[in-house]
Amino acid sequence: MNNRIFRFQNTNILAQALTNKIHELEFQSKKGIKYPYGNNEDFIVIGQMILEFYFSDYLIQRGYPNKDSSIKKPSDLVLLRQKLLNDKNLAEIAIQYNIHNIVQIGNQTVLKKNPKILAETLKALLAAQYHDSQYDLEHVREISQSIIKELLDKGQNIPIAELKQNAKSSFLEFINNYTDLIPKISVEWKKDENLINVFKVQLELDSFLNISKTGVNKRLTEQLVYQEALKQLKQKTIIQSKLPKKSQIEKKFQEKQSIEQSTIVYELDNSITNEGQYFQFSEVDEYSNSDFHESLGEKVENLLEKLAF
């Protein structure tokens, strides 16, 4: 490890930061006793928050965002952070610090250079350093800035247009120009054979789109799904004739609402059980001709008034 960056007084905290959940479970399975150092899952979450905060802190202290730069708005800063704080970039930095040689991953040595494992271990070490330094924010800022400078160097080769690209926003903006159909997005996750979280993201747009992708990074997988969805929609040169127009959707919605209202009234009219007494409501027996023209709300109120007595 690059000792100029990380220094630990409590070696137990360091051991926990370097221990992946896989190693802990493998140890307990073989030895039959609890692993003494725990795992780094909590540290990973804290490390992510620390990196996000100090990334913004670093740029804000240097005058960003400002109208004379490519980062003109706070949202530009957020997009830049999202683009650069990814597993690939963090894993490359972790390898520079030789973290792949000391991460504890049990017998799964093939995972020692897995980008997700390395990125998470780097985050865990940052959080562990925060605890080990007795919550010294200036010390943690110094360490974080070393990582952030590396990330910004990697970002020099990324066009600002790409940094600002948000696949989800682009997709939603595109479909909103043509239709009121609402996409349905679902996310499922499970652990694979190496106990790594794997996310399955699925997007459906009525009968026009059904896209599914899996990955170890939830946000990145979602972005890939939205990118593919946008690509497929743009490829449909006759999309305007294929997607239902807003007027058609409104008409269908009104028809559906009318059917639902009729169903509610029909169910209320035909059987309501209350305190052991069965009420039968018949339009012929109970209502005059004017009753047929009552609104749904009036009919329901009348029925509830009858039940109250």
> What is the domain partition of the chain in residue ranges?
11-162, 168-242, 246-307
What's the predicted TM-score (pTM) here? 0.59
| CA separation for the pair 14, 8 (Å, rounded) | 7
Nearest Cα neighbor of 130 from 2, 37, 10, 247 is 10
pLDDT tens digits in sequence order for the chain, 309 residues long: 444 689 999 999 999 999 999 999 999 999 999 999 999 999 999 999 999 999 999 999 999 898 888 788 898 888 889 889 999 999 999 999 999 999 999 998 889 999 999 999 999 999 999 999 999 999 999 999 999 999 998 877 655 555 555 677 778 878 787 777 788 889 888 877 766 778 899 998 887 789 998 887 777 788 888 888 888 887 764 445 556 555 554 555 455 554 444 444 444 444 333 444 333 333 333 334 444 444 555 555 555 555 444
Strands (E), the chain: 184-191, 197-205, 209-215, 272-274, 277-279
User: Is it true that domain 11-162 has CATH number 1.10.1520.10?
Assistant: yes
Fold for 168-242, please state it.
Double Stranded RNA Binding Domain (3.30.160)
Determine the longest span between alpha carbons in the chain, in angstroms: 90
CATH topology agreement for domains 11-162 and 168-242: no
| CA separation for the pair 201, 213 (Å, rounded) | 5
